[in-house]
Chain A
């Protein structure tokens, strides 16, 4: 049988389908000064997306609208505004069931409204990518940054990555499809960032060439059938498992859930290769380690610089993926640490809980500072927590007395 590769051929916009490793790792990069939302647009321009479905909610509205411009320019197969996040995620599911590469974005209350869809996506093995620009969930209404929604997403069977910077975002959107579409993974990806801090601030980002794009999604590499009738079934099942109260039915459902989580685990090897590890460490041999994800990492870097001025050496562990969870990596990275500081942008401290479940001697861990409801995290409050842990007296910071 004759096989033909699309690599090297052009799409209708003249972009060349390029081997993703060449495009991401070898192709020349040019710098651009963009907001996070613009970066999302530029990544999607190069992602060979078939269908994008949008819905307005701050702080992702701008990105979702910018992708509409890409559609108008002819870079995307189809694009429309759905009627709610619940509907949008169903529409994304339909498009993915039909064999399309699908992209969408949401935030905060939108993520929660859509929540029923996420375990369905994972169970149906739909490699949809959703950008989650995290914001507050609680009443009274807040549109400000807050990462609480990630703690719900991590129980769904989706891959969940937490970007720190616009550069992470750019690279991970493209690399994310490569991981989630692997036949032994084939799971949706929630690519999270901290709303506003990443979406609405400008940063210098190194972009891959505009005339290169990812190879298209091949739905026939899916571990489950693509619902397009190109390979019609005799019938789907002889004995439907739904709502049956018998052991076979339970065992089938149970083993499929295990398989979904096994697929999350299998994504590890691909993710390590693409993201250069699930965590990243700096000065990992320091007695004091700051362990964080998202923009708490950036604030941590600044705190580390301030502490250096005081002669206190602090190392950093940046967690890139929450699912798969880098438990072993974190255990290894923190094994000699005397103090582990986990700053977070949410009220419950879900990241600290995850870490505590992975390391011995959890009394080393300080689950602080926590800011939420849109508060910023000045590096000084991280410094103060670290000094506190070391027994150094600090001045009471304004507003915290």
Chain B
């Protein structure tokens, strides 16, 4: 795939908005190697955002959108929350319908796209907060996994309801005092990555978004595995600095603290056997391609 579909008719090029011209001339569409390093060098799929200054979620958004392997054929599904303030700025089709039904919507969407475009890859990626994924939407999150729906679910885990003002959520830590948990949350953080494994996800990663290269890798893996095998799940710590009393510049440190080996966002992954095989095959092919390119380059020189 390429920029073919976003190309502007030459007669209209000069009257199109400059940002559209920029998208067509500089976007990374069609480049399978696109990744986080392109941020700032080319037209990005996200521009302004209406999140708080320094919000780690805004970084996560940029890394994820820069890492989509096939943005020209990717549709994203969101849910109500801080993410729904950002999605309208995103330059790929995205759906917001209700709060918590994102995996149901994505199930119908993916199937419709498979019916309508047989033989073509159309990736579907769900991106929603922890309230949407784990509390109000848990049923639909898990049922999509049981059914082995072929899309990726990404949860921005900020361990509370940020958009409504910091209420307790299922992914909040036990004991944390918050709105609606006035004497501290009474039960443990829900172990969704483990639930995801039991529910049939083929690729699961739990981590923070402190390292863009890591996010690129896990997003690409999750999408490739979902495309071929079935559901995949990423749980990314995107702390709500506002609600945990941090300053704008402290989000990164908060994530680094939370990913220490004994902490709740220490890197954890689960990869099913078929997914391991798939990723190994893809890595081998990639290596082959790179070696061939290197050889070609050295011959040329």
A, B: real partners:
yes
Show the binding face of A for B, using Cβ within 8 Å.
50-51, 53, 77-78, 80, 82-84, 86-88, 90-100, 102, 116-117, 120, 124, 225, 227-243
A236 close to B107 (CB less than 8 A): no
A86, A236, A238: the one contacting B87 at CB < 8 Å is A236
The 7 lowest CB-CB distance pairs between A and B, nearest first, are A94-B108, A98-B112, A90-B104, A90-B101, A77-B115, A240-B88, A95-B108
B300 to chain A, nearest CB (A): 35
A90, A99, A231, A242: the one contacting B105 at CB < 8 Å is A90
A229 close to B101 (CB less than 8 A): no
B243 at the interface (CB under 8 A from A): no
Binds A, one of B139-147, B224-232, B253-261, B265-273: B139-147
Question: Whole-angstrom distance between the alpha carbons of A241 and B122 in the complex?
Answer: 28
What is the count of residue pairs linking A and B with beta-carbon distances less than 8 angstroms? 167
A117, A231, A240: the one contacting B5 at CB < 8 Å is A231
Number of interface residues of B (CB under 8 A): 50
Q: Please give 10 more A-B residue pairs, beta carbons under 8 A apart, in addition to A78-B112, A86-B101, A100-B112.
A: A83-B140, A91-B104, A94-B112, A98-B75, A228-B75, A228-B113, A229-B72, A229-B92, A240-B88, A242-B85
Chain B 104-139 interface residues, beta-carbon cutoff 8 Å to A: 104-117, 122, 139
Which A residues touch B45, using CB under 8 A? 235
Question: Whole-angstrom distance between the alpha carbons of A236 and B19 in the complex?
Answer: 13
B116 close to A236 (CB less than 8 A): no
Question: Whole-angstrom distance between the alpha carbons of A116 and B140 in the complex?
Answer: 15
Which A residues touch B117, using CB under 8 A? 228
Which B residues touch A227, using CB under 8 A? 75, 93-95, 109
B108 close to A93 (CB less than 8 A): yes
A53, A90, A98, A100: the one contacting B140 at CB < 8 Å is A90
B176 at the interface (CB under 8 A from A): no
B37 at the interface (CB under 8 A from A): no
A97 close to B95 (CB less than 8 A): yes
B177 at the interface (CB under 8 A from A): no
A240 to chain B, nearest CB (A): 4
Question: Whole-angstrom distance between the alpha carbons of A95 and B75 in the complex?
Answer: 12
A168 to chain B, nearest CB (A): 28
Interface string of B90-101 (1 = CB under 8 A from A): 111111111001
B111 close to A83 (CB less than 8 A): no
> Do A100 and B115 contact each other (CB < 8 Å), given the known contacts A90-B104, A242-B84?
yes
B23, B73, B115, B140: most-surrounded residue (chain A CB, <10 A): B115
B73 close to A229 (CB less than 8 A): yes
B245 at the interface (CB under 8 A from A): no
B93 close to A78 (CB less than 8 A): no
> Which of chain B's residues has its CB closest to A86's CB?
B101
Question: Whole-angstrom distance between the alpha carbons of A243 and B75 in the complex?
Answer: 23
Question: Whole-angstrom distance between the alpha carbons of A33 and B90 in the complex?
Answer: 54
Chain B 161-190 interface residues, beta-carbon cutoff 8 Å to A: 163
Question: Whole-angstrom distance between the alpha carbons of A96 and B97 in the complex?
Answer: 12
B104 close to A233 (CB less than 8 A): no
A87 close to B6 (CB less than 8 A): no
Question: Whole-angstrom distance between the alpha carbons of A86 and B122 in the complex?
Answer: 25
B25 at the interface (CB under 8 A from A): no
Which B residues touch A242, using CB under 8 A? 84-85, 88, 96
Which A residues touch B108, using CB under 8 A? 51, 53, 90-98, 100, 102
A51, A93, A232: the one contacting B92 at CB < 8 Å is A232
Question: Whole-angstrom distance between the alpha carbons of A236 and B47 in the complex?
Answer: 11
A83, A91, A230, A239: most-surrounded residue (chain B CB, <10 A): A91
Which A residues touch B23, using CB under 8 A? 234
B50, B97, B109: the one contacting A98 at CB < 8 Å is B109
A154 to chain B, nearest CB (A): 20
B91, B97, B117, B163: most-surrounded residue (chain A CB, <10 A): B97
A225 close to B101 (CB less than 8 A): no
Question: Whole-angstrom distance between the alpha carbons of A99 and B73 in the complex?
Answer: 14
> Which of chain B's residues has its CB closest to A227's CB?
B93
Which B residues touch A92, using CB under 8 A? 108
